[in-house]
Amino acid sequence: MDTYDPTQIERRWQAAWAADRAWEVPNEGDGEAAYVLEMLPYPSGEPHIGHLKNYAVGDAVAHFLRRRGKRVMHPMGYDAFGLPAENHALRTGQHPRESTEASIRSFRSAFDAWGISIDWTRQFATHEPAYYRWTQWLFLRLFEAGLAYRAQAPVKWCPNDQTVLANEQVIDGRCERCETPVESRRLEQWFLRITDYAERLLEGLNEIDWPEHVKTMQRNWIGRSQGAQITFRCDELQHELPVFTTRPDTAYGATFVILAPEHPDVLRLTAGTTREREVRAYVDHAATMPAEQRSNDRRAPTGVSVGRVVTNPVNGEQLPVFVADYVLGDYGTGAVMGVPAHDRRDFAFAEAFDLPIRRVIVEPGAPPAPLPYVGDGVLANCGPELDGLSPNAAAAQILRRLRDRDLGHERRSYRLRDWLVSRQRYWGCPIPIIHCPTCGPVAVPDAELPVLLPEIENYAPEGVSPLAGAHAWVEVVCPSCASPARRDTDTLDTFVDSSWYFLRYCDPASAEAPWSPAAVDRWMPVDQYVGGVEHAILHLLYARFFCKALRDLGHLCVDEPFRRLFTQGMITRNGAKMSKNRGNVVSPAPIVERYGADTARAYVLFIAAPEQDADWSDAGVEGMHRFLARLWRLCCHAAATPASEPPRIPEDGNDDDRRIMRKTHWAIEKVTGDMAERFALNTAIAAVRELVNEASPERQGGAAPATVRFALTTAVSLIFPFAPHTACDAFDRLEGRALWREPWPVAEQVWLHSDTFELVVQVDGRLRDRVNASTSATDEQLVALATAQPNAAAWLTGRDVIRHVVVPGRLVNLVTG
Ligand code: ANZ
Ligand code: ZN
């Protein structure tokens, strides 16, 4: 008896695919193009089981689409810049390039060992000058368009990593990586103007086939808020102070105005008052506090008066102005009207500072609710024209009047901030800008790209980027006026590198441009994108922004890069996330070595619906291995029987033939639907297992060898996207052909309908029995069958049947006199 030897089988078929260049697709060619992409890996150490799952999912889709006649591009690359390699360099002195490239080699050999069907002619890594040249080029196009700009900005600073952090890298006021409490600093930084695209980033979500929860996360991150801008005025200084509010209906309840400590007018307003020194001290202190802490509702409010009053445009009242840190500088206008009766934070502030509280929303007919009251109601204490109106009606009226006097209008605000892209770190893409004392920031001419990352001795960031120490590299002449100037020493956020890599795959060798428009037109948008839900917000939002911006600049035709998105769940062990600290990590390498890649791949897809988290089980792996071994052995056995035709129609065979033929076509239908419509890879694999059981020697009964052979050949064909090596090997033994070039099987209708159905037997409309009946039975035969059932007969005793109601395929109702 042959034994299933995955090592030998997998080596053989990997060599066959390589010799056939089976997964390479030129840009030109026949057939409908499809682009299947998994998020590119960040190469650090060895790949883990999550990678195996991610690429097993994408590969199953790629194989399925190829065999359905699509010309599939399935490329791979590496997101090679980033902090871990640099931190490793700080500890060991090893150049980040060396550790990164070592890791890329282990990823590549894992992908080979797993047999993932990649077109390797398209591969690249983002740290290669041939790639980052174009990252720089794209940055310059954004710069010229005013979409990349420099600004002094309060930044989150990790004193341990000595780097600026993005908001999302700060968790509970601490650095995401090292958990050091984060500080605030002001630095000149590069930003990309993603906020210009807030509305389009929202609209685009309606056009794409993404999981609803991912769309919701993106919507919340963009955070559109519909409200109004209302202008308060400091008559003394002739100065206008607009506020953003979502509740213009409560304007009559405003009893103070608050500015954020970062508000640009704070010092101007307080100048010349007795408050100047106090305000300055407060502003300095607030600047060091993380935003999370500042907007924490449970904290007792702090603030100081700026010593001025402003006029409320709706009623002319003079309101005191404060500066308080619960108002954020970068949201709305950085100023709010305080309505303590109907806003919790304003209420706490008014209590602490002993300010008046005026109720302007009441529940009609109810006793006065305790304050602050944030519920529904109608207006009160606002004068006869407004009292009694609903908040919506009142808001409309108030805004109409303000608009006439040019003191207010509707406005939207977004939570989304511009994207801070400068990093004071070494291992990233250099920013192609030269700072000239006369000309300011000047673009490096395109012909001089790439600005190569210089070799340096010391990677330690000491408040500035380590690149600042590379004097020979930094000191240049201004491209515009030729006076001495300095290179920008920051590097780009690695999210910039990964915001366009999927475009480069379309034309990876292009040396004249980041891509040729024709190549991108051919492949984009990505038909199926696969990745972790941890990238649901930033990477996907940034990539979408890049496409929209580059399209506006004429470099691209697509607007939304990823037509369909799939986010896979994690693999856990004993219900816990795998981590080195917990010591519960399952590495793919030993599993693949012991059981073969096919077992590992099919198992991670089989344990649960791929979008769900799944718990690893060693017994489950064994089970999958036994299944593949059994299928392979059955195929070897069947291959020894002479090939002959299985029954063509149900009438051709015996009961066992019929059962197995039906099961086979059911499995084709089920796997095809699961793959094409439901992304239910786990139930697809389960269906093949059912089919193999049905055709196994224990169950095949009197079926003809040709029937069994057909069932097994089909099982192999259907399991191919999940266990491609085993499937190719078994198919080769059975059919002597290359399975990856075979068309995907199609179910035949005649076998899909069962020849029996469950007949409902009623007597006088009451259910008395259920019985299996033949679909080909005549009405008379059905009535006879129903009458003969003991349960029905018992109810018929002593009565005449005067009429029958027959619904073929459903029921017989016997009506008695
Ligand atoms: C008056 C008011 C009355 C408000 C009321 C609320 C309730 P969202 O929904 O998140 O957009 N606000 C405006 N700018 C702010 C800033 N820079 N920092 C902190 N708070 C700010 O919240 C909008 C509301 O948050 C605005 O509406 C404003 O308070 C406050 F009964 O104005 B409201
Ligand atoms: Zn100059």
Average pLDDT, consecutive stretches of 10 residues, N- to C-terminus, the chain (817 residues): 90 98 94 96 92 97 98 97 86 91 96 98 98 98 98 82 74 84 84 97 97 96 96 95 97 97 93 93 80 75 95 97 93 96 96 97 91 95 95 96 96 94 93 97 98 90 83 97 97 97 97 95 97 91 98 96 95 84 86 97 96 93 97 96 85 88 95 94 97 94 94 98 98 97 95 81 92 84 92 89 86 90
**SS3 state of residue 71:** strand
Token pair, residue 558, equals: 């697509």
How far is Cα 260 from Cα 326, in angstroms, rounded to an integer?
7
Substitution candidate for ligand 1 out of 222, 224, 243, 247 with most atoms within 8 A of CB: 247
Identity (one letter) of the amino acid at 195?
T
CA dihedral over 267, 272, 276, 279, signed as positive or negative: negative
Residues with CB under 6 A from ligand 1: 225, 244-247, 250, 260, 327-328, 331-332, 334, 336-337, 339, 342-343, 413
CA dihedral over 49, 55, 60, 63, signed as positive or negative: negative
* Contact of 661 with 710, CB cutoff 8 Å: yes
Decide: pTM greater than 0.75: yes
Give 698-713 as a 3 state SS string.
CCCCCCCHHHHHHHHH
The pLDDT value recorded for residue 290 is 65
* Contact of 555 with 600, CB cutoff 8 Å: no
CB atoms within 10 A of CB 604: 31
The pLDDT value recorded for residue 750 is 86
Token pair, residue 128, equals: 């290669």
Ligand nearest to the CA of 435: 2
- The CA 244 to ligand 1 mean position distance, Å, reads 7
- The CA 491 to ligand 2 mean position distance, Å, reads 22
The mean pLDDT of the chain is 93
Query: Per-residue pLDDT tens for 384-427?
Result: 999 999 999 999 999 999 999 999 999 999 999 999 999 888 99
- The CA 484 to ligand 2 mean position distance, Å, reads 8
Query: Per-residue pLDDT tens for 422-453?
Result: 988 899 999 999 999 999 999 999 999 999 99
The pLDDT value recorded for residue 458 is 84
The pLDDT value recorded for residue 292 is 66
The residues, ordered by sequence, that sit 6+ positions from 169 with a Cβ below 8 Å of its Cβ are 156, 175, 176, 177
Substitution candidate for ligand 1 out of 230, 232, 244 with most atoms within 8 A of CB: 244
Ligand nearest to the CA of 374: 1
Atom 31 (ligand 1) nearest CA: 342
- The CA 711 to ligand 2 mean position distance, Å, reads 76
Burial class (CB in 10 A: 0-12, 13-18, 19+), 466: buried
Distances (CA, A) of 198 to 202, 678, 733: 6, 31, 57
- The CA 468 to ligand 2 mean position distance, Å, reads 19
Ligand nearest to the CA of 482: 2
How far is Cα 262 from Cα 283, in angstroms, rounded to an integer?
7
The pLDDT value recorded for residue 20 is 97
The pLDDT value recorded for residue 166 is 67
Atom 27 (ligand 1) nearest CA: 245
- DSSP secondary-structure letter at 455? P
The residues, ordered by sequence, that sit 6+ positions from 718 with a Cβ below 8 Å of its Cβ are 667, 668, 671, 684, 687, 688, 691, 745
The pLDDT value recorded for residue 692 is 98
The pLDDT value recorded for residue 169 is 74
Token pair, residue 659, equals: 């059962």
